[in-house]
Amino acid sequence: MPNTINAHIQDYHESGASNGFHCLDARLKLVLLVMAVALNIYFAKLWLSLFLLVAGTSLAVWSRIPVRLFLIFFIIPAWSTLVIVVGFTAGFGSTSLFVLGPVTFYKEGFNLGLAAAARIGCDISWMAAVFLTTPFNTLLKALKWFRVPDVLLESIAMGFRYISLVMKEFNTMKNSARTRGGLQSYKHTLQSTGKILAQVVLRAYDRAVRIQEAMISRGAYSSIINSKDIESVDSGVEECPNQCDVTPEYMDPHAPVVSCSNIAYTYGAEATLHDISFTVERNEVVVLCGPNGAGKTTLLKLLSGILTPTSGDIYLEGEHLDRKIRNQIFRHVGLLCQDPNDQLFCTHVREDVSYGPTNLNLPSESVEQLVNTAMELMEVSDLADRPIHRLSYGQMKRVGLAGLIAMKPPLLLLDEPSANLDPASTHQLIHHLRHLNSHHGYTLIIVTHDMNLAAQIANRIVILDEGKIVADSMAREILTDEKLLEKSRLEPPILTKMFQRLLNHPVDRREIPLTIDEALAFFDGKIKRPKD
Amino acid sequence: MHITEGIITGTPAVLYTCAGLALVGYGTTKMNAFVKSYPEKRPLLGMAGALIFFISLIPLPAFTGTCSHPCATPFIAILFGPAITIALTGGSLLLQAAFFAHGGFGTWGANVVALGLFGSLAGWGAFYFSRKIGVSLWAAGFAAGLIGDVVVYMASGVILAGELAHAPTPQYSFSGYLIVIYAAYLPTQLPIAIGEMIITGLALHNIQQQRPEVLVDLGVIKCGSERSGKATRIAGFILLLAGTLFLWSGGHVLAASEQGVKGSKKNFSQMLAAKAPNSYSGMDEAINEKLAENAGLEPKDPLINIESMGDLWNALLLFAGGVCGFILGRWWHLISKKRS
């Protein structure tokens, strides 16, 4: 039931109603709410409670809040209100009203119960009127204006953002326990609940660590003095047909975007990465692939400054990635996490997209312009006022990307961007990534197991295995080398595999189509030559 | 156990709200200090907010066939400390009142005091005392869950009884209401306290088994192996359980021994102590008859006179009640068309 109420409130907020109380400033609404509750509770007079109840209901009517929605607020307190009325009637007074068996009901008690019920009705009507007409993010802003400490507001906002996710995880595990007989008795239920609760706490702990990483990569702890100290350089790419101003600004147009030399990373006693050296040039799309545990995500974390290499050096746009650059890493790199729930930690879409640009200390107009452009480009403008926990996975990925490009870092690191996406969402994502690369000049490093995605988007593929680079070549070279892929527990795209069989392993691998377009061209007798 | 909106009024409501604000303010300063010392753990506070909110909504089965929710504050206090837990409880109660129709703004302060202050302090205190005397982690968790929940129940009872005893024309004194409240909520609160005890202990035990480094990082346990001394641990645990029972019965004893009878108000304990004419008389003769006499009511015949019906009819009545109860319990969801 509580979740149902919350869902109804969210649906109503998204309906965009703008009548009556909706238009009033949230701060004023909060003041009115506090005053109404204070008067109601302090004086505790029946006539005052009834008057305030009528006032609260009138506000709801004025705001054209649907009756059903307004009444939902009264359902949960209804039972306790009945208990209060009966309890007061039986527990207070001297003038008998009626007798039911051994219990006598008194007139004075009934009056007290009625007054208590009126108080409850009054408070609920005001809460319904205020919270149905004010989205949660607006309430938080109003509370911030009243100088409620940031740390408390942050924890309330995060509680609101992640409660549904925590509940979902709990219910999924509970259903899993149910299907395996874990809830068949009181004893089993308590045992299973204890186990599941431990998992929920551990996942929350891990998520907090990942959120911290996402916050750092989006400039949470930066100390920017001048936001315009980067020299804007012409990106030299096709102009965006939408004239979007989210093209990144490269600090040094001649330096490679990423340059790693002999980097190694050791976790505990085990070396996760060793002797990694590679360079990524401007506008390249590099796909990092390899079996599970090869060190791909660790490499992304090293490039995004979350981890520090045990040895070796990383250069971003010619600058050595040291402590100073690490504090300003978001100028160079944007990291899209594998699970968008780790990336999107604000309550609503607009808040989350504006989180990064706000950390850049830009003027509010610029922030708003960047946020609007980024949301438009990623096709999430219509979701701007939706709470994050009500987005689909694909929508979350696009909101995550919008949050990154609103900061305009030249290099985007994408960790498994197509994981858990349906085919339509994957296509949409590929379209957006291509657009960002070809029209805005973003350099992309993508970690994926999805060879179809690699075939459609990659210029170059790097294969990691057991912490080492085992292959680094153009996409076609890698994707048509079945033996190499097999050795790294990977598979070529299904189309490529089929043509390899069809052409009986041709010597010239450039003949093998990687995509549907190339396959069609092949059948037309016009094999597309690779870009290289 | 939330105190319902509308119950607490006047000056007590103002005082409880001020106390709630002061407690949350204190907790917030501790949160700020935590964030300053460990900036990398800032999101952990947010996740703790989500956890306290979530755990307080976990449905726990009660022996009576109903479901209710644990307090959550003892468990969160073990992980994050009592001061931070109080602040998080304040935030969580606001969210619950605003978006989930649980509790309310008028009783927010009283709920912060009962759930936040008493729940977290009692749970945390029980846990650290148990650990200090060498009790194992799961047993200390058991003690924290049980004592924390029982103390929240007792504190809520005291707050409610205090409010009711000062209402106009009360029937009973403070102690009378305290007994009535404890007795009314006992059937559901006791199983919930046992449920909270078990899940708190098991959750801590499972975390320790899977990822002890998380508990070390949160400062719940120290690096290295668990201390030995089985006999001491068992003795300590029995001592704690005994302490809980003492607290439990102590509330009743205190209430029963309360001497302050004002005016015509009847102290429940005094009514219970009033001896019936003969040693075999029951509740009706000892209490209800006396109440009826005081109120000037004449005795009437009961609507269903079970004494004159005979054993067969009584047995049939009992059986019919059982069948109806079973039908209602088994197919109650058809009324609302929903099965939770």
Do A194 and B202 lie within an 8 Å CB cutoff? yes
| A186 shares its domain with A108 | no
Q: Is A266 helix (H, G, I), strand (E, B) or coil?
A: strand
Report the CATH architecture of B10-265: Orthogonal Bundle (1.10)
Which of A280-294, A425-439, B164-178 has the least mean pLDDT? B164-178
Please say if the pLDDT value at position A28 is more than 90.
yes
CA distance A388 to A352: 9
What pLDDT score does B261 carry? 39
B88–A contact, CB cutoff 8 A: yes
Give this complex's ipTM.
0.76
- For residues A397 and B285, the model is more confident at A397
What pLDDT score does A525 carry? 67
- For residues B274 and A505, the model is more confident at A505
Please say if the pLDDT value at position B67 is more than 90.
no
Tell me which range, A67-76, B180-189, B267-276, B288-297, is most confidently predicted by mean pLDDT.
A67-76
| A456 shares its domain with A422 | yes
B5 interaction partners in chain A (CB closer than 8 Å): 77, 119-120, 123-124
Do B214 and A127 lie within an 8 Å CB cutoff? no
| A324 shares its domain with A446 | yes
| A326 shares its domain with A448 | yes
| A155 shares its domain with A292 | no
| Mean pLDDT score, A185-200 | 85
pLDDT in tens, B101-120: 677 888 899 999 999 999 99
CA distance A337 to A340: 6
A195–B contact, CB cutoff 8 A: yes
Quick one: which H or E segment has residue B22?
helix B10-37
Given A108, A152, A163, which is nearest B28 (Cβ)? A152
What would the two tokens of residue A414 be?
């994408």
Which of A12-16, A458-462, B71-75 has the least mean pLDDT? A12-16
What pLDDT score does A331 carry? 86
- Per-residue pLDDT band for A3 (boundaries 50, 70, 90) equals low
A99–B contact, CB cutoff 8 A: yes
Please say if the pLDDT value at position B123 is more than 90.
yes
A218 interaction partners in chain B (CB closer than 8 Å): none
Contact of A456 with A519, CB cutoff 8 Å: no
Query: Number of residue pairs across A and B with CB atoms under 8 Å?
Result: 250
Nearest chain A alpha carbon to B191:
A186
Q: Distance between the two ends of chain A, CA-based, in angstroms?
A: 60
A5 interaction partners in chain B (CB closer than 8 Å): 99-101
Of A109, A134, A159, the one marking the end of a domain is A134
What pLDDT score does A224 carry? 47
| Mean pLDDT score, B211-239 | 72
In a domain, A526, yes or no: no
Smallest CA-to-CA distance from B4 within A47, A9, A116 is with A116
| A343 shares its domain with A397 | yes
Which of A116-125, A221-230, A290-299, A399-408 has the least mean pLDDT? A221-230
DSSP structural state of residue B223: S
Do B7 and A84 lie within an 8 Å CB cutoff? yes
CA distance A311 to A265: 7
Q: How many CB atoms lie within 10 A of CB B151?
A: 28
The residue ranges of every structural domain in chain B are 10-265, 303-340
What pLDDT score does B260 carry? 41
Contact of B175 with B268, CB cutoff 8 Å: yes
- For residues B68 and B184, the model is more confident at B184
What pLDDT score does A242 carry? 62
B52–A contact, CB cutoff 8 A: yes
| A192 shares its domain with A59 | no
Smallest CA-to-CA distance from B27 within B117, B99, B103, B110 is with B117
A155–B contact, CB cutoff 8 A: yes
- Per-residue pLDDT band for A453 (boundaries 50, 70, 90) equals confident
Flag whether the pTM goes above 0.90. Answer: no
What pLDDT score does B193 carry? 86
| A196 shares its domain with A319 | no
| Contacts of residue B119, Cβ cutoff 8 Å, sequence gap at least 6 | B71, B73, B74, B77, B89, B148, B149, B151, B152, B155
**Residue A161, domain extent:** 151-217
B299–A contact, CB cutoff 8 A: no
CA distance B140 to B131: 6
Number of domains present in the structure of chain A: 3
| A100 shares its domain with A169 | no
What would the two tokens of residue A188 be?
């089993």
| A306 shares its domain with A386 | yes
A204–B contact, CB cutoff 8 A: yes
| A211 shares its domain with A284 | no
What would the two tokens of residue A134 be?
């004010």
Contact of B151 with B118, CB cutoff 8 Å: yes
| Chain A closest-CA separation from residue B203 CA (Å) | 5
At A434, phi and psi to the nearest 5? -60, -40
pLDDT in tens, A208-225: 888 888 887 777 766 544
Find tokens 């409670």 and name the residue.
Answer: A49
A9 interaction partners in chain B (CB closer than 8 Å): 99
What pLDDT score does B275 carry? 43
DSSP structural state of residue A221: T
Which of B24-28, B253-257, B311-315 has the least mean pLDDT? B253-257
B46–A contact, CB cutoff 8 A: yes
A163 interaction partners in chain B (CB closer than 8 Å): 50, 53-54
In a domain, A226, yes or no: no
Please say if the pLDDT value at position A507 is more than 50.
yes
In a domain, A234, yes or no: no
| A126 shares its domain with A156 | no
What pLDDT score does A494 carry? 82
**Amino acid present at A400:** G
What pLDDT score does B109 carry? 92
Please say if the pLDDT value at position B65 is more than 60.
no
> CATH no. for residue A485?
3.40.50.300
User: Residues, chain B, total?
Assistant: 340
Smallest CA-to-CA distance from A152 within B152, B25, B259 is with B25
